[in-house]
Amino acid sequence: MAKSNCITRVENLLRKSSITTVKKEEIMNAIKTAMAEKKYSSIDEVNVDAVAKDVTSQMKAQKQKNKINAIKDEIRIRKYQELVLNNFAGREFEGLASILVASNDQVTGARDSVSVAQTSAIANLFTEANMAFKKEGVYLLFKDMDEITQRKVNRTVEQLADEGNEKLEITEKNPDIVKVAKVMHEFSENLRETLNAKGANIPKMWGWVVKHSNDMFEVRSAANRLGLNLDDINVDPNLKGTDINYSKNFNAWKEFAMRGLDGDRTFATADNVDSFMRNVYNTLVGNKVQMADAASNIYGSRDFAKGAGAKRVLHYKTADDWFNYHLKFGTGTLQESFYSGIMTAGRNIGMIDRLGTKPIDNFEKIRLGVQKRLIDQGRNTESISKYKPFQKWMHVIDGSIHTVDNFALAKWGAIGRGVGNASKLGGAMLSATADLAIYGSEMNHQGDVFLGSMADGMAALAKIRNTPEFKDIAESLGFMMDGIITDTASRNQVGDNLSKNMTTLQRTFFELNGLTWWTNTLKENAMLAMANYYAKQKNLRLNQLNKPLQNLFNVYNIDSVKWDVIRKTAMVKASDGREFINISELANISDLDMQKILGRSDLSKTELQIEKTNFKYSVSGMLIDRSIHAVVQPDARVKGVMTQGLLKGTGMGEAMGFLGQFKGFPMSIVNMVGGRDLAFTRAGPNQDVGRGIRGMGATFVTLVMMGYVAMSIKDLFKGRDLRDPRLKSTWFAAAAQGGGLGVYGDVLFREQRDSGAIIAGLAGPGATTIADVLLAISYGIRGEGGKAGKAAYRAVSQNIPFANLFYIKTAFDYLIGYQMMETISPGVLKRVEKRMKREYNQDFLFTKPSTMFKGF
CB 524 within 8 A of CB 478: no
Q: Quick check: is 293 in a domain?
A: yes
Q: Quick check: is 139 in a domain?
A: no
Eight-state DSSP code of residue 482:
T
- pLDDT at position 421, please? 84
Distance separating alpha carbons of residues 317 and 280, to the nearest angstrom: 18
Q: Quick check: is 117 in a domain?
A: no
**Residue-wise pLDDT tens digits, 486-501:** 444 444 445 566 667 7
- pLDDT at position 23, please? 59
More confident residue, 308 or 230: 230
Q: Look up residue 8 and give its amino acid.
A: T
Question: Which among 646, 670, 699 is the end of a domain?
Answer: 646
- pLDDT at position 792, please? 84
Phi, psi of 419 (to 5 degrees): -65, -40
DSSP output for 11-75: HHHHHHSSS-HHHHHHHHHHHHHHHHHHT-SSGGGS-HHHHHHHHHHHHHHHHHHHHHHHHHHHH
Distance separating alpha carbons of residues 433 and 710, to the nearest angstrom: 6
- Is the pLDDT at 698 greater than 80? The verdict is yes
- Is the pLDDT at 303 greater than 90? The verdict is no
Residue 225 Cα distances to 218, 330, 695, angstroms: 6, 12, 54
Distance separating alpha carbons of residues 595 and 615, to the nearest angstrom: 12
**Residue-wise pLDDT tens digits, 704-762:** 898 899 889 988 988 899 999 999 888 888 888 876 555 444 444 444 445 444 555 55
Distance separating alpha carbons of residues 39 and 166, to the nearest angstrom: 11
471 and 620 within one domain = yes
Q: What percent of the chain has pLDDT over 90?
A: 39
Query: What is the enclosing helix (H) or strand (E) of 579?
Result: strand 579-581
Q: Quick check: is 741 in a domain?
A: no
Query: What is the enclosing helix (H) or strand (E) of 581?
Result: strand 579-581
Q: Which of 136-145, 293-302, 356-365, 829-838 has the lowest mean pLDDT?
A: 293-302
CB atoms under 10 Å from CB of 565, counted, come to 20
Angle at 596 between CA 590 and CA 597, to 5 degrees: 95
Distance separating alpha carbons of residues 315 and 299, to the nearest angstrom: 13
CB 678 within 8 A of CB 693: no
Query: What is the enclosing helix (H) or strand (E) of 392?
Result: helix 388-397
515 and 427 within one domain = yes
453 and 325 within one domain = no
Q: Quick check: is 711 in a domain?
A: no
Question: Which among 294, 320, 343 is the end of a domain?
Answer: 343
DSSP output for 732-773: HHHHHIIIIITHHHHHHT-TT--HHHHHHHTT-HHHHHHHHH
- pLDDT at position 393, please? 95
In 478-578, the DSSP E strands lie at 571-573
Residues 285-312 have a mean pLDDT of 59
CB 570 within 8 A of CB 590: no
CB 586 within 8 A of CB 612: yes
Distance separating alpha carbons of residues 588 and 810, to the nearest angstrom: 55
CB atoms under 10 Å from CB of 405, counted, come to 15
- Is the pLDDT at 362 greater than 80? The verdict is yes
Residues 11-36 have a mean pLDDT of 58
* Sign of the four-CA dihedral 636, 642, 646, 649: negative
Distance separating alpha carbons of residues 684 and 702, to the nearest angstrom: 28
Angle at 402 between CA 653 and CA 146, to 5 degrees: 135
Residue 396 Cα distances to 360, 404, 438, 647, 842, angstroms: 13, 13, 25, 10, 46
- pLDDT at position 296, please? 60
Eight-state DSSP code of residue 314:
P
- Is the pLDDT at 822 greater than 60? The verdict is yes
Banded pLDDT at 786 (limits 50, 70, 90) = confident
Query: What is the enclosing helix (H) or strand (E) of 796?
Result: helix 785-797
Residue 700 Cα distances to 145, 438, 714, 737, angstroms: 47, 9, 21, 12
Distance separating alpha carbons of residues 263 and 62, to the nearest angstrom: 27
- Is the pLDDT at 11 greater than 90? The verdict is no
600 and 489 within one domain = yes
- pLDDT at position 753, please? 45
Range of the domain at 543: 419-646
Q: How many residues does the chain have?
A: 856
Q: Which of 18-32, 101-115, 308-322, 832-846 has the lowest mean pLDDT?
A: 18-32
* Sign of the four-CA dihedral 241, 247, 248, 253: positive
- Is the pLDDT at 187 greater than 80? The verdict is yes
Phi, psi of 579 (to 5 degrees): -105, 150
- Helix intervals (H) in 164-241: 175-197, 208-211, 216-220, 222-225
**Hey, which residues does 429 pair with through a beta bridge?**
none
Q: Quick check: is 538 in a domain?
A: yes
Distance separating alpha carbons of residues 176 and 597, to the nearest angstrom: 41
Eight-state DSSP code of residue 487:
-
Q: Which of 360-374, 609-623, 814-828 has the lowest mean pLDDT?
A: 814-828
- pLDDT at position 34, please? 59
Q: How many domains does the chain have?
A: 2
Q: What is the mean pLDDT of the chain?
A: 84
Q: Give the residue among 672, 640, 102, 617 at the shortest CA–CA distance from 399.
A: 640
Q: What percent of the chain has pLDDT over 70?
A: 84
571 and 449 within one domain = yes
Burial annotation 334-366 (CB, 10 A radius, 16+ → b, else e): bbbbbbbbbbbbbbbbbbbbbbbbbbeebbebb
609 and 481 within one domain = yes
Question: Which among 598, 614, 646 is the end of a domain?
Answer: 646
Distance separating alpha carbons of residues 344 and 485, to the nearest angstrom: 11
CB atoms under 10 Å from CB of 525, counted, come to 25
Banded pLDDT at 242 (limits 50, 70, 90) = low
Distance separating alpha carbons of residues 194 and 121, to the nearest angstrom: 12
**Residue-wise pLDDT tens digits, 636-663:** 999 999 899 888 888 888 888 888 888 8
CB atoms under 10 Å from CB of 673, counted, come to 25
547 and 457 within one domain = yes
Q: Look up residue 837 and give its amino acid.
A: K
585 and 485 within one domain = yes
Q: Quick check: is 642 in a domain?
A: yes
CB 628 within 8 A of CB 523: yes
424 and 331 within one domain = no
The SS3 of residue 844 is: strand
**Residue-wise pLDDT tens digits, 603-618:** 888 889 999 999 999 9
Helix and strand numbers, DSSP H then E, in the chain: 43, 2
CB 99 within 8 A of CB 621: no
236 and 323 within one domain = yes
Distance separating alpha carbons of residues 799 and 795, to the nearest angstrom: 7
**Hey, which residues does 573 pair with through a beta bridge?**
579
Distance separating alpha carbons of residues 823 and 78, to the nearest angstrom: 71
586 and 438 within one domain = yes
CB atoms under 10 Å from CB of 838, counted, come to 10
Which residues have CB under 8 Å from 367's CB, separation 6+? 96, 384, 387, 390
Burial annotation 589-614 (CB, 10 A radius, 16+ → b, else e): beeebbebbbeeeeeeeeebbbbbbb
The SS3 of residue 717 is: helix
* Torsion from C-alpha of 274, 280, 284, 290, nearest 10 degrees: 180
Radius of gyration (C-alpha) of the chain in whole angstroms: 29
Distance separating alpha carbons of residues 25 and 30, to the nearest angstrom: 9
Banded pLDDT at 20 (limits 50, 70, 90) = low
Q: Quick check: is 630 in a domain?
A: yes
The backbone region for 820, taken as left when phi is positive above 0, alpha when psi lies in -120 to 50, beta otherwise, is: alpha
- pLDDT at position 487, please? 46
